[in-house]
Amino acid sequence: MNRTYLDHNATTPLRAEARAAMIAAMDVLGNPASVHAEGRAAKSLMENARRQVSDAMGAEGADIVFTSGATEAAALACAGRELHSAGIEHDAVGAVTAERLAMGANGSVIIDAPDQSAVQFANSETGVLQDVPAGLAVCDMTQGFGKLPLDFIGSGVRMGLISAHKLGGPKGIGALVLRRGQDVPAMIKGGGQEMGRRSGTENIIGMAGFGAAAQAAAQDVANGRWERVAQLRNILEKALEAASKKTIFVGYDAARLPNTSCILTPGWKGETQVMQMDLSGFAVSAGSACSSGKVKASRVLLAMGYDADQAACAIRVSLGLETTQDDVLRFADVWAQKLKKHEARAA
């Protein structure tokens, strides 16, 4: 059976540029903390990756602190701060903030005090984009980075969270992006690496892959490659709408990521749809990847005002740059067949 991967918001295929950079980094012997030639070579590789990430997200003049991923970056950014968030945030942010921000229409967050708030740029489940205000304390940019143009410095955001494997880099490496003058206390103490913010010998191989992936992803954004993906997303939704008039496309009227469709079909459990489509060769998800293994209604959809029964009936289809029109039309055809069988059994 040929497999069709439509779960790019969970993780993305490793880019060729990232793979090549990582393989080359494996031959770099030195510890970047060492002052000899081998150590300097390792440090040069690390700083080059830092520049690549910075350039890709418009963060010139900001500090890029490499972490194990966006989850660690969130913990580092929010530690010791009483920040407010909304119910649509990723669990990594929700776990270290207080859920006090109200929701507006179509998944928008009402931000009264930006300097006391942690708000995402793009939602991983629905793709809905937020109007991020200047002075925002923390912004989870993980899903938007690599799909949409970013200007970290111009945005006025104080701290940003990003992750490599969402844009074609390796898993296990991310970063906290800090505006100069914005400091964070180290959670991992020791040798004082990463400008004293995160101790431990640096993951040079992961950093090299992250930098190369970020550079390639920024070029794809500049070349308009995600506009084609948005067209495919629209083709998919039209095909599904033709098969089911009761299906809801969450956030349809809002600004969304170009690749993301949250498809809610009342009465048809999301986990059932995921399993049926998986058996038919399609990889999709129900909720975010970090929580999709849990049999419960989407916390994001509940926060948006859907009831528990509705929230349990959603799936997420997230396309990638390699997704084709044939892929989305085949998915729509199989999905429609499965829905017809489900409705016949329920009758």
Q: What is the pLDDT of residues 237-253, one digit of tens each?
A: 999 999 999 999 999 99
**Mean per-residue pLDDT, 327-344:** 97
Residue 194's pLDDT is: 86
Residues 6+ apart with CB under 8 A from 287: 125, 270, 298, 299, 300, 314, 316
* Topology of the domain covering 16-222: Aspartate Aminotransferase; domain 2 (3.40.640)
Per-domain boundaries in the chain:
4-10+224-346, 16-222
Residue 116 has pLDDT above 50, yes or no: yes
In the chain, pLDDT over 70 holds for what percent of residues?
Answer: 97
Residue 186's pLDDT is: 86
Q: Which residues are tagged catalytic? A: 290
Residue listed under structure tokens 């069988």: 341
- The 3-state DSSP class for residue 316 equals strand
Please report which helix (H) or strand (E) contains residue 254, including its range: none
Q: What is the pLDDT of residues 47-78, one digit of tens each?
A: 999 999 999 999 999 999 999 999 999 999 99
CA–CA distance, 347 with 343 (Å, rounded to integer): 6
Specify the length of the chain in residues: 347
Please report which helix (H) or strand (E) contains residue 161, including its range: strand 159-163
Residue 260's pLDDT is: 98
Residue 92's pLDDT is: 96
Q: Residue 342: count other Cβ atoms within 10 Å of its Cβ.
A: 17
The answer to whether 88 touches 103, Cβ cutoff 8 Å, is yes
CA–CA distance, 155 with 146 (Å, rounded to integer): 16
Q: What is the mean pLDDT of the chain?
A: 95
Q: What is the pLDDT of residues 156-178, one digit of tens each?
A: 999 999 999 999 999 999 999 99
What is this structure's pTM? Answer: 0.94
**Mean per-residue pLDDT, 126-146:** 98
**Mean per-residue pLDDT, 193-221:** 95
Residue 10's pLDDT is: 98
* Topology of the domain covering 4-10+224-346: Aspartate Aminotransferase, domain 1 (3.90.1150)
Residue 181 pLDDT class (50, 70, 90 cuts): confident
Task: Classify 224 in phi/psi space as left (phi over 0), alpha (psi -120 to 50) or beta.
Answer: left
Q: What is the pLDDT of residues 273-320, one digit of tens each?
A: 999 999 999 999 996 555 445 546 899 999 999 999 999 999 999 999
Residue 292's pLDDT is: 46
Which residues are bridge partners to 67 per DSSP? Answer: 174
Q: What is the pLDDT of residues 95-114, one digit of tens each?
A: 999 999 999 989 999 999 99
